[in-house]
Structures are given as structure tokens and as C-alpha cells.
Amino acid sequence: MEKQTVETFVDTEKQTFNVTGMTCAACQAAVERAVSKLPGVSEADVSLLSENMKVEYDPAKVDAAQIISAVESAGYDASLKDTHVANAAQVNQSEAANDYEQRSRRMRDEMEHKKKVLYSSLILLAILMVFSMLPMMGVFSFLMSMEWMMVDGIIQLFLATIILFIQRDFFTHGFKTLFHGNPNMDTLVALGSSVSFVYGFYGLLMMAYGYGTMNHELIHSSMDALYFEGAAMIVTLVSLGKYLEARSKTKTGDALAKLVKLAPKTALVQQANGEFVETPVDTVQAGALIKIVPGATIPVDGVVVSGTGTVDQAALTGESIPVDKKAGDEVMSATTNLNGSFIFRATKVGNDTTLSQIISLVDEAGNSKAPIARLADRVSGIFVPTVLVLAAITLVGWLIAGQSFGFALNCAISVLVISCPCALGLATPLAIMVATGKAAQNGILVKSASALEELAKINTVVLDKTGTITKGKPAVASITLFNSALSEKQFLQLAASAESGSEHPLAKAILEEAKALDLELLPASNFEAFGGRGLKATVNGLTITAGNPAFMKEQGIGISAYITQRAQKAAKAGGTPLYFAMNNKLTGLISVADEIRETSRQAISLLRKEGIEVIMLTGDNAQTAKAIASKLDLSDVIADVLPADKESVIRKLQSEGRKTAMVGDGINDAPALMRADVGIAIGAGTDIAIDAADIVLMKNNLMDVVTAIQLSKATIRNIKQNLFWAFFYNLCGIPLAAGLFYPALGWLLNPMFGSAAMSFSSITVCLNALRLRFFKPAHAQVQESENSVAEVTFESLEEPEETSPEAAIEMPSTNRRTDAPHLNRAAEPKHGQAVKPMKDSDGNQIPANLKKKPLVLYSKSNPVPNPAPEVTPAASEPKLQESASYLADADQPARAIAIFSVDGMSCMHCVNHVLSALKGLDGVTYARVTLHPAAAYVESIKPIAREAFVKAVTDAGYEVEVGDQCTPLDLNPDSCKAEIAVWRKLVESIKTPAIAWIWVDLEKHVLEVCGQSAVELASIEKALFDMNHEPQKGGESMILKISGMSCAHCKARVEKALSAVPGVDAVRVDLDKAEAVVEGKDLDAKALAHAVTEAGYAVNAIE
């Protein structure tokens, strides 16, 4: 019997503690080890750089006092961080900013203290060297005489004692941690220096004894044993390294320091009497009105209520182009108003401002640990005890080898002082702190060190289309006129005026285009909207009707096959076509599309150069997705993906062994962002605290994804260099200090050089990490402009034989462009010469009653641009589906089928609307709607009336074609017992364009077919005859083990794909078992596997 595990929810707390006295990685490891041993502590994370500790614990088992006690027992001091801020709503600077300033102040004070200690020690050391080293070089040689030797020794003792006293922190910290069982780097320095000093003091005593006994040989040998200069030199050189290290640390937070300094101290706040008075920012509350003048820095976040300005947001977003601000626009704290004046209402103050959140994120990320540091942490925990053992072994080993005690002691002291756990401890956090600060300067907010490390391993980037690759804002792409004497501007003016009363996004796109052309909107009356299908309005005496094809037909407005073809062309180019009629005559077509960002193509190209595969994810139909992918030279596209299914796509990619990064706008991508190895939210603006994202990009610029990846790779490379140097230094330095090379090469290291080498190793790591401050992306930054206008194509087709009713309408002054190019008209044919049919730009023949007018193109950036060429997708591009399906978990089998044509669908959004309407009908177990051909297929457990289908689709804004002539056919009762998959295959095979409606009732044994004219029944009767005389279940069956299926949608796709394979009679798909059972005759295993693969899944085995 399997053991069951019951998960219990534990309410834990997270607290931050200040920890002082830590000097190296061994200290950090000792504190973590001491706190982690406490019962109830689930996580303890100590930061050496910020001198704090974050602990997650169960308050029922342990409290803050016990945690502080554990730290003190390890030999360090701790206190609970004071997170209370008086009236936080009134404090402008965040707690993170205050903490950083306090920490910076403490680091600067510490650096000044180290500087004073170092200078004092260097002066005294120089004097000490005069008495210890110069006499041996012939300077002040009288000190080597018998009369002065004792005096010289006493002077050295006196000077060395003062230096050691000045450097007493090494001894207080080092011996304190040693006595608590957690020796650190200070312990090694203190032991090495103390042993040198004690041995020198012993030599001085022996010298005095020699003077007392008149033993000249003892006096001279004792003089050689004075190690006072060595003791002083060790601590002085180490303090030099510590001072340089402290200076380097202060520079690692330069980026954060710049952010902290951005916020102004005062603001012009409106008082009760209406006057604006300069007020301390600390007193500003949400809702206050604040005035911003030219050159002023915005103190808090808010929304502009009046006035205009141009704001430089580079300090926060890295965007160098200033942004125009007007009423209703958001403004961010710490950005600068370059010109203009405006008043805004404060919405976020204190810890809630954008600046405060950025400071908090950067600070937390800089102090977090990267997984790559785990090895260094493990080594640091045992490093110092190991060095102490090695020093003892060195001492004893050389004594056993017959060397003098002085020689052995020299080697042991060298081992102690050359060993450097600091380099190991600094290798990762310094690089992480510099990198996160540098990222923030570029508008990239990294939430943790682990995210930065994972980003360097990414090999697949999944880009959500809407709002990421595209701007997420519809814009007019093309305008086509039919049989109209109107100019394109006149037509657009009328269309925009009619749409002015609509709140639909597509209507707003038309209004924006009219505004960009400075077209004045005309008064509109009798406005009437029809629930997402269209609208009617009266403008300038014209009755304007606008909407989709179904709405046009509903209003009695005919649409020719050729015009439908033009609309389909617009849809294939990635647009949504809108029909416009004036006085019940179709006048024009406006295609609205989502613009591709200027940086998307370059970013995708650069990602490929980084060796990363790029995949576009979209809920759009296959045609739109293919059109956008073609413009981006992108072959990997996954279309028809609902927001809820994005997470399963990421999961499938990960199951293939890919390291994925998901890039989305954070609105409906949260599950996918969380599932991905690295979630990247783009265009966050002021909403930077997106929980689902690991990395937040403040700008709507895909180039920042490239920058983030390049920075992460540079950071990990820097960390590896630091770790290599730290390990290499110790692996080479300790054997050299121990004298292992002395017998063969005669190499012997003086302890003074050992201490200098230890300092040099830490400084090297610091300087290498600081190189990241000069990181620059390996590409030119391209600024994204949200206000750029897409190129719009105008095309006009006119009917010269007739006079359009609107031709005589007097319009405002919106003259046609006179600078547009014109196509050369062909010469008039001679008498008797055959006239070749005219064709459009796609090679399609234009109806005889239509001829092309001049093609007019314009662009805001380019007056006469070339039309975008049709791009044929690469042959390797995966097949894209243009359908949506629904499968219900029904207890009863389906016993009725309906398949019918649907008019008015032009995109996958239409398909999904129709599908939603159909699946709401009572008894539906399976439904599928296709865009090409525009049809719906429905299975139900009971017959559904034709009127119910018509009403459901009509209410959704579309039309059902049934036909005027219907023919019922009686079915063989035995054939009605066949599996539903058999009937599904039969019904789909007999559906032709001439047949608008097929309805099957397996309970009453009836099949009905309808069309606009009498339906040819011969082929249908033959199909029914063949089915009646074929076995319903073949003599064989196969079981396919399939991976990648995760939902009912997947199940339906696999079932459909397998049912289409020749010889298949029945298919049963089981999601739980991840298998499909196929029954039929002459089954081809390869064909079945190929069908599943084409559907987007993998066959693991066939039984």
C-alpha cells in the first residue's frame, strides 16, 4: 500500500536582521549555519555586502530573539531591522532607499575609518622598517652592533605593538569567532600576526638572556628571530587590501545611488486657497495637486489633469526620446519636465512610487544569491578550519623534515596569511550587484540573481504577439474604394465621422487615422450601434452603414464575390476588414491591423545570432499569424492559442528539454510567465511589480530582451572568471606558502608577501566585477516610438459608366493628393483589336464593369512609399490551423449531427465567437468552426432544431446559410448504430459548396440536405450505400501512445487528424492514458503517426 503524504500549510514569517562583524565569506557561512539549525527556520539568506540577513521561519517554533541569540553565539552581532516608517503614506522615499542611504553612509564611514587606520599604520610601519630592514642593507649599521641590538629590538617591539593596537579589529573579531567555533579570515590574519609577534617577543627575551650571560652567539641568532616587522606588515598589507576592497564596494552601488538621488526634496503643492506652495515631499499625500514647471523633476507618480509638457524618462526607463504628456497621461517620479507646464494629481507616494519600487527591486536583486555561488558557499564554510589544519601540518611537517623551528614557523604563518576566503565570497555578489544596477540604468529590472543566471542559459524565446511583437493598438492599414467619386480623404472623413460615436477599438483606429491627417469630423446624427456587428449614422446627409459582411447583408447591401476577395486579401495581410456603405450602396473597405513594432524584426534577428530559437505565440488565425511572421522572417509560429493555453505551450517546450523565456505584456500571460524558466514582462511602465515576471522591461522595446540576455551572459562570464581566480589563487598560493616547491626549486614565500598576495586576490576580484559598469549592448539601441504611424495603402476602383450617388455631394476642403504617382493608362485599342481583361495587383481578373483608378499611397514618414510585398512563408514553416473546436465531457454518446455554412467570419475572433455561441446550445458534445471554408460542425446527444442554430449564430453577429430547397433521406437503422466517428467522416465527405446544410438524426434515422437549388443526391446515396455495405469496425486496431496532449482541445485535434487517415473507422482518445485507440482496416502505422505529428503532437509508441 502506498504511503500517502498530507501537506500541511504552515504560516511563516519573513524578517530582515542587521548583522555586523562579518568580514568574509566564512563569516557569512557561519551565520547562515547557526541560524539554519534553529527549529522552525525554513530559510536563512545572509548578504555579506549589505550586512543583513533574511530569515523565513515559523513563529510558533522560534522567535526573533532566538534568531539574534543564534547569531551572537556564532560570534557576531545582530538586531531586528526596523521596518516601521512613520505614516508611510506621507513618506516620499521608500524604505529600500532609506536602507540603501544608511548602508552607503555606513560603508563610507567604514572606508574613512579604514583609511585613517591604514595611513597611521603605514607611517609607523615605515619607521619600523628603518630599524628592522635598513641596518641589514648597510644603512644605520650601528644598530647591528652589540651596544645597540637590544635598543633596536625594544624600539621594534614598541612600534609593532602600536601598529597591532591600531589594527586591533583583526584580533577582536578573529579570536572572538575562533572561540565561538567559527573561525574566519580575521582569525587567519590574527593568528599569523600574533604568532609572528609572540615569536619575535620570545626572540627579544632570548636576546636579553644572551646579554645577561654574555652569549654573543645567542644574541645574534635571537636578533634574526625578531619577527616584529612581519607581524606589523601582515596586518598593514591586509588592511590596505581591505581599504581598496571597501572603495570598490562603494562603486558597485553607483547605479542605485544615482536612482536614490533622483527624487526631489520639495514640490509645488496646491493649498486650500488654490495657491501652489513649495512643500517638503515627505508631506505629499495621494490626491494632492502638484504643479510642474519647465526643468522641474516630478516628485511622485500621478496623472496629468491639465496642461502639457515634454518629459525626459531616461533616468528610469533608459529611453532617450522625451515623451509628450497631456491630460490623462501618467507621469513617474524622478523624471524631468523639459518644457511646458502642467498640473497632475498624485496617485502613488512613498513606497508605492515607481522610483521606490525600482530601488527596492534593484536592492533585493543585488543582495540575492545566484545558484552559481553554491560551490563557493560550500567551500567557504570549511575553508578556514581546513587552512588552520594545513598550517599545523606544515609546521609539524617541516620540523619532522629536520628544518629549524624558525623555518617551519615561517611556512606555517605564510599558509595562514595567504589563504583568502574573501575572494570566494566576493566573486558572485559583487558581479550581481553591479549587473542589476547596470540593468536598471537600461530600464531592465531583474528581480533575483537566479533569474539573471537562468537567462544566460536560455535557448528558446517565446514571444507573445499582441503588445510584444506588435504595439497592441489597432491602426488603419489600407483603404479601398469601390464605385466612388470620393477622394480617399473625403471617404475617411465620412467614415471617421460615422464611427465617432463608437467605443469599439477598430472605430478608435479609424478616428486616430483621421486625426493624424488633420481631418475635421462632421456632425453625425441618428447614430445606432448593433452589438459588435456594425453601426448606422447620418453624416452630411448620407446614411452611412458600417460593419461586417453579415451586417451588410442584414441591411440589404450586396457584396460581390470580387469585393469579398479583396476583403479576404486584407485578412491574409493580417488586417480586419470593415465594410462601409453610403445610401445603401457599398462604397469602400477599411482594413485595420495591429502594427508591428519597429524594433521587433531587429530584435528577433539578434536573438538568432545569439543562438536562440524564437517562437511567436498568438491567438490570431493562421492567415494573420502567417502574414505577421512573414514580415519578421519568422518561421516558428504557434497560432490559434487561447490565453489559457499559453502555459501548456511553454510546458510542452520544456518537456522537449528547452530552456525557455516567455516574453509578454503581463496582462493575460501570467501563467505562461510563471511556467517559463524566465518570465519577462515587457512595457510595464509604472506597473513594475508584476509578480509573475522574473524580469521587468519598462519600455515597449524588444531590443531590451536582447540587452538583458547579453548582460546576463556577460555577468555569468564575469562570475566564472572571479571564481576561477579565487580557486586558482588558493590552489597555487597555499602549496607555495607551505614550501612544497622549496626542495626542488628553492622557492620560499615570506609571510609579508603572502599577506600582500591575499589582499591582491580580493582586489582583483573587485576590479573584475567593476568592469561590468562599462557594459554596453553589442548592438545599436533602436528607440521605439509609440506614436509612429503605419504606412496606409489607398486603392480605388470606379465604375465610369455610372454616376455614384455621392459624387454630387458637396464636401469640405479635403482635396485629393496631387503629388501621388499615377499608373500609365494603356492606349485605346484599335478597331477590331481584342481587349485584354484587366487584372489587379494580385493577378485576379477585375469584373468588366470595374476599372482601376490611380493607385495612391502615402506614409507619415515617407510621402511616396512602396507597397509592402507579399512574402511567401518558408517551406519549413509549420502548418497553421484555421479552426477552433470544443469538446465536452459528456456521459452520453452523440446521436445527432449538423454541418452548415456560416457567413460573415473574417478572422479567428469571429470563429471563436461562433464557437462560443454553438457550445452554449443544450446537448452539444462537440463543435468545430472553420474559417476556410466558413462552416460549423456540431454533434449533440439529441437533435437540435435548425432555428436554434440560426438564432445562436445570428445573435453572435453572423449568418447561417440554409438554402431554399431541402431534401430528407431515410437512413438504414443498422447504419445508424455505427460509431459517431464514422458518421462524422461521411458527413464531412458529402459537404460541398452547393450544400449549405446537412442534418442527421440517428435516433429517427433521418438525414436532411439543403441548398440554394436542388441538391444532387446521387453522390450522397452512393456514400450511404458504401457505408451500409462496409464493416463498421475493421479487423484490426492500433494503440498510439501520444505525448503533448493536455486538454480537450488537444484531444479533439488528435481525433480529427486520425479520423482523416484512410482506412480509419473509429478513434477513441484517452487523455489520462495519453493514448489513442484506432480501429479500421488496412491501417498504416506510418500514416497514423504522421497525422498525429502534423497535428502538433508526438507518437512515442504504436501497439
pLDDT digits (tens, 9 = 90+) for 854-868: 333 333 333 323 333
Where along the chain do the CATH 3.30.70.100 domains lie? 13-84, 881-1030, 1031-1103
Architecture of the domain spanning 881-1030: 2-Layer Sandwich (3.30)
Proportion of the chain in helix, strand, coil states, percent, rounded to 5:
45, 20, 35
How much is the pLDDT for 322?
80
The dihedrals phi and psi of 47, each to the nearest 5 degrees, come to -110, 120
**Statement: residue 640 has pLDDT above 60:** yes
How much is the pLDDT for 706?
92
End-to-end CA distance of the chain: 30
C-alpha grid cell, residue 988: 464531412
Q: Side by side, which strands form the sheet with 444-446?
A: 444-446, 695-697, 678-682, 660-664, 460-464, 613-617, 637-638
Where along the chain do the CATH 2.70.150.10 domains lie? 263-350
How much is the pLDDT for 321?
66
Select, from the ranges 57-71, 560-574, 760-774, the one with the highest average predicted confidence (pLDDT): 57-71
The dihedrals phi and psi of 1018, each to the nearest 5 degrees, come to -60, -45
C-alpha grid cell, residue 179: 572561540
CB within 8 A of 262, min separation 6: which ones?
297, 315, 316, 333, 334, 355
**Statement: residue 794 has pLDDT above 80:** no
Match domain 13-84 to its CATH number in 3.40.920.10, 3.40.220.10, 3.40.50.740, 3.30.70.100: 3.30.70.100
- Which of left, alpha, beta for 779 (phi over 0: left; psi -120 to 50: alpha)? beta
How much is the pLDDT for 758?
75
How do residues 239-292 score in pLDDT, each as one tens digit? 877 777 777 666 665 556 666 777 788 889 999 888 899 888 888 888 999 999
**Statement: residue 85 has pLDDT above 50:** no
CA angle 141, 752, 112 (to 5 degrees): 105
- Which of left, alpha, beta for 622 (phi over 0: left; psi -120 to 50: alpha)? alpha
How much is the pLDDT for 99?
65
Q: Which of 99, 464, 594, 677 is labelled catalytic?
A: 464
**Statement: residue 573 has pLDDT above 80:** no
Question: Three-state SS for 465?
Answer: helix
**Statement: residue 679 has pLDDT above 80:** yes
d(CA 762, CA 595): 52
d(CA 690, CA 681): 8
**In this predicted model, which residue has the larger pLDDT, 376 or 966?**
966
Where along the chain do the CATH 3.40.1110.10 domains lie? 473-595
Query: Where is 750: in which H helix or E strand?
Result: none
> What residues pair up with 588 in beta bridges, in sequence order?
481, 580
On whether the CB atoms of residues 1061 and 1088 are closer than 8 A, the answer is yes
Least confident span in 125-139, 496-510, 770-784: 770-784
Q: Which CATH class is domain 263-350?
A: mainly beta
Architecture of the domain spanning 459-469+597-698: 3-Layer(aba) Sandwich (3.40)
- Which of left, alpha, beta for 652 (phi over 0: left; psi -120 to 50: alpha)? alpha
**Between the CA of residue 746 and those of 26, 376, 736, 749, 857, what are the distances in Å?**
33, 32, 11, 10, 85
pLDDT band at 236 (very low <50, low <70, confident <90, very high): confident
How much is the pLDDT for 75?
84
d(CA 427, CA 730): 14
d(CA 945, CA 957): 19
d(CA 901, CA 598): 40
* Chain center to CA of 381: 35
pLDDT band at 997 (very low <50, low <70, confident <90, very high): confident
How do residues 872-897 score in pLDDT, each as one tens digit? 333 333 333 466 777 776 667 778 88
Mean pLDDT within 772-789: 64
Active site residue 518: no
Q: Side by side, which strands form the sheet with 309-312?
A: 323-325, 309-312, 336-339
**In this predicted model, which residue has the larger pLDDT, 1046 or 297?**
297
d(CA 784, CA 283): 37
- CATH code for residues 473-595: 3.40.1110.10
Report the candidate in 336, 262, 354, 314 with the shortest Cα–Cα distance to residue 441: 314
**Statement: residue 1073 has pLDDT above 70:** yes
Mean pLDDT within 744-767: 79
**In this predicted model, which residue has the larger pLDDT, 977 or 171?**
171
| Range 1031-1103 has CATH code 3.30.70.100 | yes
**Statement: residue 52 has pLDDT above 90:** no
How do residues 1026-1060 score in pLDDT, each as one tens digit? 665 443 334 577 888 888 777 666 777 888 888 88
d(CA 65, CA 55): 13
Q: pTM higher than 0.75, yes or no?
A: no
How much is the pLDDT for 946?
83
**Statement: residue 460 has pLDDT above 90:** yes
How much is the pLDDT for 713?
92
Peptide bond into 933 cis (omega under 30): yes
**Statement: residue 687 has pLDDT above 70:** no
The percentage of the chain sitting over the pLDDT mark of 90, rounded to a whole number, equals: 10
Report the candidate in 1056, 973, 979 with the shortest Cα–Cα distance to residue 1007: 973
Burial label, 281 (beta-carbon count in 10 A; 0-12, 13-18, 19+): buried
**Statement: residue 343 has pLDDT above 90:** yes
The chain-wide mean pLDDT, for the chain, equals 77
